[in-house]
Structure formats: C-alpha cells, structure tokens
Amino acid sequence: MPLFEKTTFVCLDCETTGLDPKNDHIIELGVIKFIFNVELETFETLIDPGCPISEASMEIHHITDDMVRGKPKIEDVLPTLLKIIGNHIIIGHGIGLDIAFISESAKRHSIPCSLESNPTLDTLRMARLYGESPTNSLEKLREHFNIEAEGAHRAMSDVIVNIEVFKFLAASFQNTEQLFERLKRPIALKAMPLGKHKGRPFSEIPYEYLQWAANKDFDQDLLFSIRSELKKRKKGNLFGQVTNPFANL
C-alpha cells in the first residue's frame, strides 16, 4: 500500500437508537473522506428512524425524537453515504459496530452494500497498541493528545476528533501496509476493559471468572489477554492464582 500521505481514508461515525444493529436504528451519520492532511468530502445528516429513541441512548448523544422527526429516512441517505465510502479504507472507533449498523440498514431496504469487505482501521485497537493513554475512549484519547474539543458527542464532532486521534496513533508506522500487518495479530490489554472487574489487571482477576470469560464472544484482543493469563497460571508458577494452589501437595 502507498504511504499515508497518498492513501484515501474515510472516517465514519453513527449515532443510533441503541446498541443492537439488528433491532436498533441509525439516527445520525457523519463521514469525512480525506488524504491525511487534506479533506476531500464531508457528509452529515440526522435520520428519522421511524421509532422512539431510548432514554439511555439519548443521554449519550442528546438527540431527541423531536430533532429527528421529519428528517430523511435511512434508505434515502445510504446511496449517498455508500458512494462516498466506495472501496476506501474505513476508520472509526469500534468501527465494526458502525459498519454492522449500516450493513443491516442496507439489508432491510434491499440496498446493495459491500462495506463489510472494505479494509478497516479501528482506532480503539490502535489505541490499545499505543498503550500510553489511561483509557482508550475517544474522549480520553482526545484529552491525552491535547486535541481541541469539538462539542457534543455527535457523529460529525466524533469524526473530526477521531481523525486527529488516528494521526497520532499512526505516527509510529511508515505506511498502511505496516499498520495492517501489525493489527492482524492480537494485542495484549493491560487491564480488563469491561464487566465487574473493569480496570483490574488480569493478574488480579479470579481464575474462575477468567475461565468463564475465555469462552464469551469478546473481541480478539480481550480473548487473547484472558487466555494468555490463564496459560500463565496453568504453568503453576504464580502461587495463589491457580484454582487450588495446594492441589499437588
């Protein structure tokens, strides 16, 4: 692949009625097509989902039912969005969820969509690889890199911040090929990112909980981190971390 300065990227963010792509709906889209330091095209719109927005979602993005009433429907917006994205590299924070929402929306309305085959760069995984931010949320990364705030947690403001975060996270790579190659391999996390042990180092999490978590549908980095910790303990060299440290006495 060419150097970053010659590669066309598309940064994308969706705001939605909830977190389930099969049952929830997109209510706002923001997208910027760019070549590293040159903005090529932008597109943003509110979308009428045809259903109520949950209170939990409203607390995050502050988009109300009144704000989306009478706005374009997703089937009217998708052709424009998909044309902008084309087959370019898609960037986003937890971008898999955004792509799942767009793909499901396209499927519902029989609109051809091949986004799931586009190359993607997830800035959440890149942040894990970077490893120097206290937490890897987009807002905390913005603060960590001293990026100017863009206002409310809305699609376009998140896209603008995300592009700047991406530039910082990509700085140690020579080109996109090198970055893609590294992201093929799982990344070891420093601490549990979710659940009742959120924020705890894996070495401090009970063995039984790790065994349970090792078989859940988590992303490759989290599963790799959990299973790596289990392997360490099964070697028996960490007294008190195996199920029963006295089993062999």
Q: Which residues are catalytic?
A: 153
The total of other beta-carbon atoms located within 10 Å of residue 139's CB is 13
Residue keyed to tokens 């994308």: 12
> How far is it, in rounded angstroms, from Cα 86 to Cα 94?
20
List residues bridging with 45 in a β-sheet. 29
49 contact partners, CB below 8 Å, separation of at least 6: 17, 25, 26, 27, 68, 74
Contact status, residue 121 vs residue 166, Cβ threshold 8 Å: yes
DSSP string, 75-109: HHHHHHHHHHHTTSEEEETTHHHHHHHHHHHHHHT
Q: How many whole angstroms separate alpha carbon 231 and alpha carbon 214?
A: 11
Surface-to-core class of residue 243, CB atoms within 10 Å of its CB (0-12 exposed, 13-18 middle, 19+ buried): exposed
d(CA 36, CA 194): 32
The two tokens of residue 182 are 């590294």
